[in-house]
Structure 1
Amino acid sequence: MVSQACRCLCSGDWFDEAEQLEFDGLGGAAAPIPPARFSDLLAYSTDMGQPLRGKAMRSGDLWFLRSEASAEKVQVSLFVNGIAIEHKGKEVRACFSPFTLVRNCKFQDSSSINQLSSLKIFKIFFFVKNLCYFFGVSADDEAQADKDRQLWVSSIAKAVHLVTQSLFPPFSISCEPICAAAVTSRRLMAGYVLYHSGEDVATVLYGELSPHTRGSDLARLAFYENEQCQRLAMEIWISVASNCFEKVGMSCTCFCINGHDFSARTTAERKLWLRAISNIKVKLQNSAPAPSREDLAHYREAIEEQVRSLENSLEGRGPVDSLLQRIEWTRTEVSRVSREAEDGTCSSSISSEEGLGTAAPRSGSVFGASKLHSLSIPALSQPRSVAREASRGPGTPRREL
């Protein structure tokens, strides 16, 4: 929205005011291991046009902000995996993905006097799509408005968390190497994460963090097809200059490494990943020698202690079935992605038919790297997932619930 509307990381001049709300279109030294076959990787669609599940958990009137001085009252309904917004008989439905955050906002210029000065603002940010919606809550008194806003924010954050947890297979963070996989001999910690691997795709990968070796100033973050660590999907090299940070949002599980977006299963696991990477960066910055076997044992013991402390924070696995549609890639689609990668036109991080390859840093930061579009609600004539299925050819990924 406007720079006046939010005292957040996304604050900036990235709003073009629309004439009216638009509801018509939603816009190491180990032996080499074989790379994971792209078609074998577990992936889910993050298309916002997917059907919403069940009945609305919460409904009510909110103000939809079009600018710092203009808003429209809309009817908002929250579902277990998304949100529906109704205005003047038209409805927009947007499905959440793990790469969605919600947080409170404030008007940056408190001296501005307008019709919205009494509203309590919050935003829903689909950050991998650069789509941000601002809503305002009004009430008879400020305390009640604050309370109502917090209920909306916590309810939306819980729904996003349920979507995220539903995509993870059952697992526990592991610190011990696998005897059958020599490449894991220097493992510090490993566990599943969700990776934003391209437009409308979230891939489930098994990440493994290893420290630097003798003669090297780089630590390794490898991602495998699954916990057996037999097929490498991609790898990221951690240096002193590596950019690693968390996304700021209510109970947000997302974090970024060298421009690549990930989501952990819980906020505790997100903190554990970032803390372990931060500790490695400190050692690299101080030119510490490569850790010995004894050092690795001590590091693992410290991490395992943290893992034991966060086990109680796991709120169960969430729904039995995934709340997003599973992607089943056809042989033709894999070949198409390979050709696009060779031509340099592939939008995802996939580098070949056989795997994701090395993840090169993306240019810019998610926040402020590119202008966000108008705050007009990206509407929907029909869900994109439905539209794609209607015209699905042999080269289109097949999606199944």
Structure 2
Amino acid sequence: MVSTACRCLCNTDWFPDEAQDLDFDGLGGAAVPIQPARFSDLLAYSTDMGQSLRGKPLRAGDVWFLRSDSAAEKVQVALYVNGLAIAHNGKEVRACFSPFTLVRNCKFQDSATCSQLMSLKIFKIFFFVKNLCYFFGVSADDEGLAEKERQQWVADVARAVHLVTQSLFPPFSISCEPICAAAVTARRLMAGYVLYHSGDDVATILYGELSPHTRGSDLARLAFYENEQCQRLAMEIWLSVASNCFEKVGVSCTCFCINGHDFSARTMAERKLWLRAISNMKVKLQNAAPAPSREDLAHYREAIEEQVRSLENSLEGRGPVDALLQRIQWERSEISRTDDGSITAEEGTLASKKPMATVALSAAKTGAGRSAGPLSQRSVARDSSRPRSPKQSCRDSF
């Protein structure tokens, strides 16, 4: 199971203690209430695993598929730019990647009970928002060759997942400056696009903005808008000292979790930047620091922009021009606002989303089921038959 321990970096303190400017604290308070986002305008993609695979295989080969802690079958695996096909006994199963997929090495937890499979080098592909985990093994006469082949499979799968993720983002740069036409952004620290898992096999592109606490409050704010204009609010998350924020652990994984909500950044560098900013904000809340003034915010933004510049070499370029997942077109939706201020589509249909084949391979189901985030829709293409769970035979390792 993926570790939920917080691994965010917190090596830089962006928040010096300076005098509070009371006049600035109320900026934006008299602005016209922001409008809720409309689902018909939100950019969303299907994360159904049964979508068509693109192009020709990037690589193919025989590997072992682990069905239990003592049984494995040799299968033929073909890796595509957006997923993989698994063939066995004349039948083929295809699994399309989403940004919420991770890959990593594993090893047996109890060598005594798994003696028949000890020669295998194990790795897993974890569709964590579906709680589905597939374990594969690589064998060779030479242990060094087996390890090399495993690392190559892991690297290639991670690269494919990364291409899928990058293909969904519109062009943008991390922004620290407020928007003159949107008073609600006056206290912005940083903003940029993220992918949000909104349930029912849907990933939604949202424009996230982090703002610090205000005078008399012990909560920072993460607002998510329809786009960078910040005119329509889709959802918001209030951050406290007790907020749970951590990254998902996988090779080249860009996913992170905030208060039970799953997100994906465009790159690992951007994920680290979001988590570092949130971590530093929580430190200030924990120390009961005063709300930052206008001058304070200018210093904070300058520090964040310096971090962005230092990460420019690791901010990879955009992926393919065409999105590698099927875009969702909404015909209509009725939006209701929940108690926490987020919005929910109670009745929504998809204009061009046909039912897709579900993955029929046996897979380990890991973790407890989780409720969908506040942006939840009723999809016409749902995975109605989840595979059974054999005993989990591996644990994560690095």
Scaled to the shorter chain, the TM-score interval is 0.7 to 0.9
Please report how far the alpha carbon of residue 141 of structure 1 lies from its aligned counterpart in structure 2 after TM superposition. Answer: 1.3
Per the alignment, residue 398 of structure 1 pairs with none
Please report how far the alpha carbon of residue 174 of structure 1 lies from its aligned counterpart in structure 2 after TM superposition. Answer: 0.3
User: Do residues 29 (structure 1) and 23 (structure 2) align?
Assistant: no
Bigger drift between 290-299 and 50-59 goes to 290-299
1:304-319 correspondence to structure 2 within 5 Å = 304-319=305-320
Per the alignment, residue 296 of structure 2 pairs with 295
Please report how far the alpha carbon of residue 38 of structure 1 lies from its aligned counterpart in structure 2 after TM superposition. Answer: 1.2
Per the alignment, residue 100 of structure 2 pairs with 99
SS in 1 for 2:180: coil
1:1-400 correspondence to structure 2 within 5 Å = 9=3, 29=29, 31=31, 32-112=33-113, 114-331=115-332, 334-335=333-334, 338=335, 350-351=343-344, 368-370=367-369, 374-375=388-389
Per the alignment, residue 15 of structure 1 pairs with none
- Under a length normalisation based on structure 2, what TM-score does the superposition of the two structures give? 0.80
Please report how far the alpha carbon of residue 219 of structure 1 lies from its aligned counterpart in structure 2 after TM superposition. Answer: 0.3
Distance verdict in 2 for CA 1:66–1:150, change over 3 Å? same
Residues 119, 139 of structure 2: 8 Å contact kept: yes
Residues 37, 353 of structure 1: 8 Å contact kept: no
Q: Which runs of 5+ in 2 are unaligned?
A: 5-27, 349-364, 371-385, 391-398
Which amino acid in the other structure matches residue 77 of structure 1? A
Residues 169, 205 of structure 2: 8 Å contact kept: yes
Deviations 1:243-297 (A, max 9, x none): 1000000000000000000000000000000000000000001111101111111
Distance 2:178 2:270 in 1: 19
Please report how far the alpha carbon of residue 354 of structure 1 lies from its aligned counterpart in structure 2 after TM superposition. Answer: 12
Residues 36, 343 of structure 2: 8 Å contact kept: no
Distance 1:374 1:142 in 2: 32
Distance 2:197 2:292 in 1: 32
Please report how far the alpha carbon of residue 350 of structure 1 lies from its aligned counterpart in structure 2 after TM superposition. Answer: 4.1
Which amino acid in the other structure matches residue 258 of structure 2? I
Please report how far the alpha carbon of residue 351 of structure 1 lies from its aligned counterpart in structure 2 after TM superposition. Answer: 2.3
Which amino acid in the other structure matches residue 274 of structure 2? W
Please report how far the alpha carbon of residue 220 of structure 1 lies from its aligned counterpart in structure 2 after TM superposition. Answer: 0.3
Distance 1:48 1:71 in 2: 23
Please report how far the alpha carbon of residue 110 of structure 1 lies from its aligned counterpart in structure 2 after TM superposition. Answer: 3.1
Distance 2:40 2:80 in 1: 31
Please report how far the alpha carbon of residue 352 of structure 1 lies from its aligned counterpart in structure 2 after TM superposition. Answer: 5.1
Residues 70, 113 of structure 2: 8 Å contact kept: no
Distance 2:325 2:191 in 1: 24
Distance 1:56 1:352 in 2: 38
Q: Which runs of 5+ in 1 are unaligned?
A: 1-5, 11-27, 356-365, 377-401
Distance verdict in 2 for CA 1:322–1:30, change over 3 Å? farther
Identity across matched positions, percent = 81
- Under a length normalisation based on structure 1, what TM-score does the superposition of the two structures give? 0.79
Which amino acid in the other structure matches residue 191 of structure 1? G
Residues 270, 315 of structure 2: 8 Å contact kept: no
Deviations 1:149-190 (A, max 9, x none): 000000000000000000000000000101111100000000
Which amino acid in the other structure matches residue 304 of structure 1? E
Distance verdict in 2 for CA 1:223–1:192, change over 3 Å? same
* Number of aligned residue pairs: 333
Residues 123, 150 of structure 2: 8 Å contact kept: yes
Residues 69, 114 of structure 2: 8 Å contact kept: no
SS in 2 for 1:155: helix
Distance 2:150 2:388 in 1: 23
Which amino acid in the other structure matches residue 275 of structure 2? L
Which amino acid in the other structure matches residue 29 of structure 1? G
Residues 99, 255 of structure 2: 8 Å contact kept: yes
